[in-house]
DNA sequence: GGTGTGATCGTA
DNA sequence: ACGATCACACCA
């Protein structure tokens, strides 16, 4: 199978997650296993996490077995297990020395929709398929076995097919935190129905 | 449309 | 103990 779009250069990931996060909006996230059905979503919602300076980050208290991927090179997939049952995926992106990441919170299904629906029978509508960090992983078949995957080598890929990030994404505080709630480090494609929750109430820099 | 709650377990 | 969550029940 020929994947759509181009791989971002390695330098794309080697920047502050606050800069990378909004640029991930509109990119394709593809899971194309060698022995399985390819599936893909277009990223519509992300959150940035910094390292040592961000009390909400898994990296805040230094490296552990769980978060070691965050302390490795940028451009890898950091997959973690939470609430005893859910997987969530991040793009590791930071300059060396401060473990940063971008949590992939929601995507719009674009390929292999039938496969994703079979993986998520609880999703009654298309907009329920990948509208949440754990839903997105479930739809794409991403779990802990893919932690550490190089996003430029697969089988999970990030691709740029020419759809640009929105000029005025919705900006809000991050979801589900008890600390770090003062920072508005969540970005959502305005008006998109596949976000994890309605993207109003947030601030759009240009008013859109 | 909205809110409230139980599930379930690795990690610190 | 507690989570970068989800699904379903229940009320409106």
Question: For chain A, which residues make up each domain, given as ranges?
Answer: 10-188
CATH 3.10.300.10 for domain A10-188: yes
CA R_g for chain A: 16
Q: Classify A107 as helix, strand or coil.
A: strand
Residues with CB under 7 A from strand C: A 47, 49, 56-59, 70, 78, 80, 82-86, 88, 90, 101, 103, 120, 122-123, 128, 132-136, 138, 174-178, 196
Q: Classify A19 as helix, strand or coil.
A: helix
pLDDT at A19: 97
pLDDT at A206: 43
Q: Which of A198, A160, A191, A207 is nearest to A24 (CA)?
A: A160
Q: Which residue minimizes Cα–C1' distance to C3?
A: A83
Taking the CA of residue A11 and the C1' sugar atom of nucleotide C9, their distance in angstroms comes to: 48
End-to-end CA distance of chain A: 38
pLDDT at A95: 82
Q: Which bases of chain C are contacted by protein, using any atom under 7 A from a CB?
A: 2-8
Q: Which residue minimizes Cα–C1' distance to B6?
A: A83
* Strand B atom within 7 Å of A1 CB: no
Beta-bridged to residue A49, according to DSSP, are A101
pLDDT at A41: 98
d(CA A5, CA A163) in angstroms, rounded, equals: 10
From first to last of the 208 residues of chain A, give the pLDDT tens digit: 788 899 999 999 999 999 999 999 999 999 999 999 999 999 999 999 999 999 999 999 999 999 999 999 999 999 999 999 999 999 999 888 899 999 999 999 999 999 999 999 999 999 999 999 999 999 999 999 999 999 999 999 999 999 999 999 999 999 999 899 999 999 999 989 999 986 665 565 543 3
Give the burial class of A40: count Cβ atoms within 10 A of its Cβ; 0-12 exposed, 13-18 middle, 19 or more buried: buried
């Amino acid at each position: 199978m020929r994947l759509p779009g181009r791989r971002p250069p390695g330098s794309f990931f080697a920047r502050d997650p606050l800069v990378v996060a909004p640029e991930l909006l509109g990119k394709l996230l593809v899971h194309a296993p060698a022995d399985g059905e390819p599936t893909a979503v277009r990223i519509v919602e992300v959150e940035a996490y910094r390292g040592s300076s961000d009390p909400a980050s898994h990296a805040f208290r230094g490296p552990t077995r769980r978060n070691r991927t965050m302390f490795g090179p940028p451009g890898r997939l950091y997959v973690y297990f939470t609430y005893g049952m859910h997987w969530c995926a991040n793009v590791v992106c930071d300059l060396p020395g401060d473990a940063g990441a971008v949590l992939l919170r929601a995507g719009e299904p674009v390929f292999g929709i039938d496969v994703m629906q079979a993986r998520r029978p609880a999703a009654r509508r298309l907009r329920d398929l990948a509208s949440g960090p754990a839903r997105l992983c479930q739809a794409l078949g991403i779990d802990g076995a893919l932690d550490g995957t190089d996003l430029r080598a697969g089988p999970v890929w990030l691709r740029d097919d020419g759809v640009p990030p929105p000029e005025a994404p919705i900006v809000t505080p991050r979801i589900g935190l008890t600390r770090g709630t003062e920072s508005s480090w969540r970005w959502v494609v305005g008006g998109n129905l596949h976000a994890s929750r309605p993207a109003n109430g947030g601030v759009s820099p240009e008013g859109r």
